[in-house]
Amino acid sequence: MEIFKYMENEDFEQVVFCQDKTSGLKAIIAIHDTTLGPALGGTRMWTYASESEAIEDALRLARGMTYKNAAAGLNLGGGKTVIIGNPRTDKNDEMFRAFGRYIEGLNGRYITAEDVGTTEDDMDLIHLETDYVTGTSSGGSSGNPSPVTAYGIYVGMKAATKEAFGTDSLEGKTIAVQGVGNVAYTLCEHLHAEGAKLIVTDINKEAVQRAVDAFGATAVDIDEIYSQDADIFAPCALGAVINDETIPQFKCKVIAGSANNQLKENRHGDQIHEMGIVYAPDYVINSGGVINVADELSGYNRERALKRVEGIYDIIGEIFNISKRDNIPTYVAADRLAEERIARVAKSRSQFLQNEKSVLTGR
């Protein structure tokens, strides 16, 4: 992989390679863009097939965080860390303390958080060496992000429902929920309380039965979820579920769920747009978790965080407006929203610096 060529093409600012022989730490910190503020993004620990694969994952995820944070209206840039190793067998205290020292050395350019393969305990170890970490067990932590993420999905789904049906009421709507893990189960609580009819599936049969018992949901096999006579399809498990095989099965008018990377390829976003399906872009509708974590940076206040998460409703609405304004699919409109916000701040900063230089030089 030609790292500098990739960084140039995707406009990356910095990639930091971290190693500590004593603890076995091998980590890559990717900082994509800090126009809006310091880069915020989690630390993922994974057993990668190669170092190149780990680098590519860090870069891809960091860029994604730039767009997620910008679209969410946060004054934060995008970054991500991957630690190469098995999260079940390779962890030790010294590893995360060493990693914390590397973060401290960036002097606030990057703030980390939990991600796949890392825990609150790991964040506590990092916190021993730096304050540039969120999701710790200390006072002021935002705690479990799942309920807040679910709430964001719920309000975003209501915005998409309004776009498709002219009203944001979910009462009487049939919603097919793929996956009923922590986030999706809480989402189902909101949907059930509003009077929606639920169809659920999951590889975990106990999770399915729990939803059936609690919400009167109808259970279907995993492969049957796409073809249900549902108003809304909520993908809340795997990515790439909007693809050549599933699209012909869709009968829904709305797709809105918590799963990441729902479009297998961009062309699938074009297809559902042409079909008239209202798609709430995944990285926008599932941004409640990062909004919640980001609130820690101001001294965590749950009521304030939830109020900010409610703003996902208006953000999704703005994306639909851009989609209609520019005649583009909503996944493209979401990127445009993020890019326009970054560009406005960059232009304002450039103008400020130019004015400051004029004052100093008298020109």
Over residues 62-96, the pLDDT tens digits come to 999 999 999 999 999 999 999 999 999 999 999 99
Rounded to an integer, what distance in angstroms lies between the CA atom of residue 363 and that of residue 351? 14
Residues in the chain, overall count: 363
pLDDT digits (tens, 9 = 90+) for 291-321: 999 999 989 999 999 999 999 999 999 999 9
Segment 23-43 shows an average pLDDT of 97
Q: Is 254 helix (H, G, I), strand (E, B) or coil?
A: strand
Residue 160, pLDDT > 70, answer yes
Residue 351: what pLDDT? 66
How do the domains of the chain map onto residue ranges?
3-66+76-127, 146-337
Nearest to residue 309, comparing CAs of 187, 221, 220, 223? 187
Residue 146: what pLDDT? 87
Residue 356: what pLDDT? 56
Residue 226: what pLDDT? 98
Catalytic residue among 26, 80, 173, 197: 80
Residue 142: what pLDDT? 76
- 250-253 long-range Cβ contacts below 8 angstroms, 24+ apart: 250/226, 250/275, 250/277, 251/227, 252/176, 252/228, 252/277, 253/164, 253/165, 253/277, 253/278
Q: How confident is the model at residue 349 (pLDDT cuts 50, 70, 90)?
A: confident
CATH of 146-337 among 3.30.70.1400, 3.40.50.720, 3.40.50.1000, 3.40.50.2300: 3.40.50.720
Q: How confident is the model at residue 363 (pLDDT cuts 50, 70, 90)?
A: low
Residue 139, pLDDT > 80, answer no
Residue 141: what pLDDT? 73
Residue 308: what pLDDT? 96
Neighbouring C-alpha atoms within 13 Å toward the C-beta of 159 = 26
Q: What's the whole-model pTM score?
A: 0.89
Rounded to an integer, what distance in angstroms lies between the CA atom of residue 320 and that of residue 314? 10
Percent above pLDDT 70 for the chain: 96
Burial class (CB in 10 A: 0-12, 13-18, 19+), 301: middle
Segment 184-211 shows an average pLDDT of 97
Question: Same fold for the domain at 3-66+76-127 and the one at 146-337?
Answer: yes
Structure tokens at 276: 């008239």
Residue 151: what pLDDT? 98
Nearest to residue 58, comparing CAs of 45, 71, 70? 45
Residue 40: what pLDDT? 97
Our answer to whether residue 307 is catalytic in this structure is no
Higher pLDDT residue, 71 or 352?
A: 71
Rounded to an integer, what distance in angstroms lies between the CA atom of residue 61 and that of residue 283? 11
Residue 123: what pLDDT? 95
CATH of 3-66+76-127 among 3.40.47.10, 3.30.530.20, 3.30.750.200, 3.40.50.10860: 3.40.50.10860
Q: How confident is the model at residue 324 (pLDDT cuts 50, 70, 90)?
A: very high
What is the chain's mean pLDDT, rounded? 94
Q: How far is CA 92 from CA 96, 99, 104, 188, 221, in A?
A: 7, 11, 19, 37, 40
Segment 131-160 shows an average pLDDT of 89
Residue 355, pLDDT > 70, answer no
Residue 165: what pLDDT? 98
